[in-house]
């Protein structure tokens, strides 16, 4: 191996040095200044974990406050100049904004900072691309990436739109942009057709399942709350589960025996996150369809998360968007072992009508699992409608 080749491999093995930028806008959050600041810091801490999940090294975290985003640069000219100096001084490879940027903002920032710029949508897509394992998962990720890129091509080169009919813009003289746009559109259509075929196949499998009396329970929840670990604990499976954001992307289903009177299909799929981009929800509609078709939802919550209430709200917003908001739901509060000792009690919690509303468990300590199985068995006969969001 030559010295040059060895250096190239070593360089490729090093994670990209990432600067993360968060801007606290006046429109963000509600409540007191302290509450808004706490929410902003929590979102920024989550963004750091997203960068790590994408394989980056978040060496710098920069923050700013603005009344509203700057039209051209999001952060404004002064802050952009400050970021540019930091990029050069610290050898930054990539700047990630924990916001959704317009194509114009992204392009202007790259010129100003002299390095690649990625917004929150692009960051989540990068993670999805690393994690998708099944054919359908990879197709969905590619569709979302191309849809995101197509918007950048079309809007990023908006100054050419008025010249489409001009001299030299057709035939042999047409721009590379037009060729790229056409190739992307062709690939997007091909992907949609492949996903439509997979959707038909899944519908046939679901129809076969529904021909019997077996019910489907879907694990839903914020990313990294322990859904896949719980799935493995209940079904004795070995699906990928790790303490990181978006560890699981692809839907997995297993038959789960509860009792002689109750067997179910348990499904596990991608976790949700705050401000989940609409284009991702659209691209993953085939996967999320499994959630929307479930008989009962098991909404797994990180009981120890300081912002668990906000995470619950974020998940419920996505559930409504995919038309799963009215499905009977049982909240499963996981990670009780991380709570103060006096709050680590596990078991079933019932509402005023005596129906099961929540179950407290710890997958890590294997406590409360029997109570959850009892709750599932009870729901096999009649799924309760539980709208409570407060932690018992």
**Segment 325-342, tens digit of pLDDT:** 899 999 999 999 999 998
CA–CA separation, 243 and 291 (whole Å): 23
Tell me what pLDDT residue 157 has: 38
**Phi/psi-derived region of residue 159, left when phi > 0, alpha when psi is between -120 and 50, beta in every other case:** alpha
Tell me what pLDDT residue 365 has: 94
Q: Is the pLDDT confidence value at 156 over 50?
A: no
> Which pLDDT band holds residue 79 (cuts at 50, 70, 90)?
very high
Hey, is 234 helix, strand or coil? helix
Q: Is the pLDDT confidence value at 308 over 50?
A: yes
Tell me what pLDDT residue 192 has: 87
361 touches 330 (CB < 8 A): no
Give the mean pLDDT of 95-100: 93
> Which pLDDT band holds residue 246 (cuts at 50, 70, 90)?
low
Tell me what pLDDT residue 9 has: 46
Q: What angle do CA 100, 103, 109 make, to 5 degrees?
A: 85
By residue count, the chain amounts to 392
- Maximum Cα–Cα distance for the chain, whole Å? 77
Q: Give tens-digit pLDDT for 253-264.
A: 888 999 888 999
Q: Is the pLDDT confidence value at 226 over 50?
A: yes
Tell me what pLDDT residue 337 has: 94
CA–CA separation, 358 and 389 (whole Å): 9
Closest among 71, 91, 75, 136 to 270, alpha carbons compared: 136
Tokens matching residue 382: 């009649």
Angle between helices 135-156 and 120-131 (to 10 degrees): 150
Query: How is residue 338 annotated by DSSP?
Result: G
Chain centroid to CA 68: 25
Closest among 76, 80, 63 to 23, alpha carbons compared: 63
Query: How is residue 367 annotated by DSSP?
Result: B
Mean pLDDT of the chain: 80
Looking at per-residue pLDDT, the higher value among 240 and 265 belongs to 265
Q: Give tens-digit pLDDT for 266-296.
A: 988 777 777 666 666 665 665 677 788 889 9
The CA-atom distances, in angstroms, between 108 and each of 44, 105, 120, 153, 319 are: 23, 5, 17, 14, 36
361 touches 334 (CB < 8 A): yes
Q: Kindly report which listed range (123-132, 200-209, 267-276) carries the lowest average pLDDT score.
A: 200-209
Give the mean pLDDT of 354-358: 90
> Which pLDDT band holds residue 233 (cuts at 50, 70, 90)?
very high
The CA-atom distances, in angstroms, between 374 and each of 107, 343, 344, 351 are: 55, 21, 19, 16
Give the mean pLDDT of 232-252: 63
Alpha helices (H) in 91-236, listed in sequence order: 103-113, 120-131, 135-156, 176-210, 227-235
Looking at per-residue pLDDT, the higher value among 141 and 390 belongs to 141
Tell me what pLDDT residue 159 has: 39
Contacts 24+ apart (CB under 8 A), 371-378: 371/346, 371/347, 372/234, 372/298, 372/332, 373/234, 373/258, 374/348, 375/330, 375/348, 376/217, 376/256, 376/258, 376/262, 376/264, 376/296, 376/298, 377/258, 377/259, 377/261, 377/262
CA–CA separation, 167 and 388 (whole Å): 64
Highest mean pLDDT among 165-169, 175-179, 287-291, 349-353: 349-353
Give the mean pLDDT of 237-252: 55
For the four alpha carbons of 318, 44, 280 and 103, in that order, the dihedral sign comes to positive
Q: Burial of 367 by CB count in 10 Å (0-12 exposed, 13-18 middle, 19+ buried)?
A: middle
Hey, is 147 helix, strand or coil? helix
CA–CA separation, 179 and 52 (whole Å): 35
Query: If DSSP states are collapsed to H, E and C, what string results for 58-126?
Result: EEEEEEEEECCCECCCECCHHHHHHHHHHHHHHCCCEEEECCCCCHHHHHHHHHHHCCEEECHHHHHHH
Is-above-0.85 flag for pTM? no
**Residues of the chain with pLDDT > 90: what percent?**
34
């Amino acid at each position: 191996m030559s010295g040059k080749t060895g250096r190239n491999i070593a360089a490729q093995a090093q994670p990209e040095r990432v600067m993360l930028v968060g801007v606290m806008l006046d429109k963000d959050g509600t409540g007191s200044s302290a509450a808004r600041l706490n929410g902003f810091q929590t979102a920024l801490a989550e963004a750091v974990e997203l960068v790590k999940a994408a394989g980056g090294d978040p060496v710098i975290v920069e923050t700013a406050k603005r009344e509203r985003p700057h039209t051209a640069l999001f952060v404004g000219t002064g802050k952009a100049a400050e970021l540019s100096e930091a990029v050069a001084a610290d050898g930054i490879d990539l700047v990630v904004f924990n916001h959704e940027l317009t194509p114009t903002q992204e392009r202007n920032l790259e010129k100003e900072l002299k390095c690649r710029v990625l917004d929150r949508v692009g960051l989540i897509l990068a993670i999805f691309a690393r994690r998708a394992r099944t054919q359908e998962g990879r197709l969905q990720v590619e569709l979302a990436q191309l849809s995101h890129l197509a918007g950048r091509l079309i809007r990023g080169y908006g100054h050419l739109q008025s010249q489409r009919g001009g001299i030299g813009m057709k035939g042999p003289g047409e721009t590379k942009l037009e060729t790229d746009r056409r190739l992307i559109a062709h690939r997007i259509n091909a992907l949609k057709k492949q996903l439509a075929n997979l959707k038909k196949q899944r519908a046939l499998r679901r129809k076969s399942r529904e021909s019997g009396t077996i019910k489907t329970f879907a694990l839903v929840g914020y990313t990294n709350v322990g859904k896949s670990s719980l799935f493995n604990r209940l079904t004795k499976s070995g699906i990928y589960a790790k303490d990181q954001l978006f560890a699981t992307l692809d839907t997995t289903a297993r038959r789960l025996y509860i009792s002689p009177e109750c067997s179910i299909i348990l499904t596990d799929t991608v976790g949700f996150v705050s401000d989940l981009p609409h284009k991702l929800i659209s691209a993953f509609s085939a996967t999320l369809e499994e959630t929307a078709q479930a008989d009962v939802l098991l909404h797994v919550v990180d009981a120890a998360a300081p912002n668990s209430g906000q995470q619950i709200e974020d998940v419920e917003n996505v559930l409504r968007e995919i038309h799963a908001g009215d499905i009977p739901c049982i909240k499963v509060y996981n990670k009780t072992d991380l709570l103060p000792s006096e709050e680590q009690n596990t078991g079933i919690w019932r509402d005023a009508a005596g129906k099961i509303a929540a179950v407290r468990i710890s997958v890590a300590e294997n406590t409360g699992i029997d109570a959850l199985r009892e709750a599932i068995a009870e729901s096999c006969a009649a799924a309760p409608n539980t709208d409570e969001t407060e932690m018992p």
